[in-house]
């Protein structure tokens, strides 16, 4: 369904949330809003599937409607267990309704809860695609520390985020280019500006260097940035240093 959430003037812009209305248009919204989404999701699936063996557990944290969970499943014939977790009930309900793969389960839980860490315990791969940016900045380090501890000894975290360039001029350049790309994808000036206002308080982005340092501080021995498109990036963090 076409995303028209912000196409009429709102008298008061409320903070963005993953509501039922957003859930219904989410695939179209994210495809037209996040540069590289259509590359990051299938390649995340490929990397996660290559890292996991039969019997392994893979966590898709902040799974929304399960696009990444489905991409992982599509890349492996192994009998893995893929668990998508999200704190939005409409998203989890939508993901369950669309799923036909018995290797995938979807669960409603908050990324910051003990319950989520228990579910993630022993996972070979944890994916967090475009989710940390919605978590309170003060909780980001402890969340990553928790995920580090939950991962299996040779576990891998795949983290994708909107990022902020440390140079203001470069940040502005990519930011303005991103908005132009949204307009080229059919969003009007009104939609672009109302969505931006709605995200102001709920999406706070960090520079790439902050992500890499935070991952190292959480304990990850080996980190890499495998993807970047304008102000959107994806990182790999291995719990232990690769020997091959
Ligand atoms: C941009 S979407 C993620 C897209 C998804 N990973 C994908 O690849 O299609 C962000 C998702 O994170 C979820 N989310 C945000 N904060 C969360 C939290 N604290 N715990 C669990 N899920 C959260 C939202 O409900 C939303 O579905």
Q: Is residue 54 part of a domain?
A: yes
Residue 199 Cβ < 6 Å to ligand 1: no
Cβ–ligand 1 contact at 227 (below 6 Å): no
- Structural domain including 226 reads 37-164+204-238
Q: How far is the CA of 54 from the centre of ligand 1 (A)?
A: 27
Q: How far, in Å, is the centroid of ligand 1 from the Cα of 244?
A: 33
> Does residue 80 line the site of ligand 1, with CB under 6 A?
no
Neighbouring residues of 167: CB distance < 8 A, sequence distance ≥ 6:
none
Whether 3 maps to a domain, the answer reads no
Task: State whether the beta carbon of 111 lies less than 6 angstroms from ligand 1.
Answer: yes
Name the percent of the chain lying above pLDDT 90: 84
- The CATH number given to whatever domain includes residue 159 is 3.40.50.150
Tens-place pLDDT, residues 203-230: 999 999 999 999 999 999 999 999 999 9
Q: What is the percentage of the chain residues whose pLDDT exceeds 70? A: 99
Contact 189, 1 (CB under 8 A): no
Q: Is residue 199 part of a domain?
A: no
Mean pLDDT of the residues in the chain: 94
Pocket test for ligand 1, best of 21, 29, 62 (most atoms within 8 A of CB): 62
Q: Is 162 helix (H, G, I), strand (E, B) or coil?
A: strand
pLDDT exceeds cutoff 60 at 244: no
**Average pLDDT, integer, range 171-198:** 90
Number of domains in the chain: 1
Confidence of residue 192 (pLDDT cuts 50, 70, 90): confident
């Amino acid at each position: 369904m076409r995303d028209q959430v912000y196409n009429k003037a709102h008298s008061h812009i409320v903070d963005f949330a993953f509501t039922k209305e957003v859930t219904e248009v989410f695939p179209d919204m994210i495809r037209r809003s996040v540069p590289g989404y259509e590359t990051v999701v299938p390649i995340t699936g490929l990397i996660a599937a290559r890292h996991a063996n039969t019997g392994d557990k893979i966590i898709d944290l902040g799974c929304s409607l399960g696009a990444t969970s489905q991409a992982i499943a599509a890349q492996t014939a192994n009998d893995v267990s893929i668990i998508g977790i999200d704190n939005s009930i409409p998203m989890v309900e939508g993901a369950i309704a669309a799923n036909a793969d018995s290797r995938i389960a979807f669960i409603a839980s908050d990324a910051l809860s003990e319950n989520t860490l228990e579910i993630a315990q022993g996972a070979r791969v944890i994916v967090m695609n475009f989710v940390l940016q919605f978590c309170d900045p003060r909780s980001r380090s402890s969340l990553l520390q928790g995920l580090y501890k939950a991962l299996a000894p040779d576990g891998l975290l795949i983290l994708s985020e909107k990022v902020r360039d440390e140079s203001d001029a470069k940040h502005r350049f990519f930011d303005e280019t991103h908005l132009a790309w949204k307009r080229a994808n059919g969003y009007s000036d009104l939609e672009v500006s109302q969505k931006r206002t709605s995200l102001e308080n709920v999406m706070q982005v960090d520079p790439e260097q902050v992500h890499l340092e935070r991952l190292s501080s959480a304990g990850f021995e080996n980190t890499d940035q495998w993807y970047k498109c304008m102000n959107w990036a994806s990182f790999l963090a291995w719990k232990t240093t690769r020997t091959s």
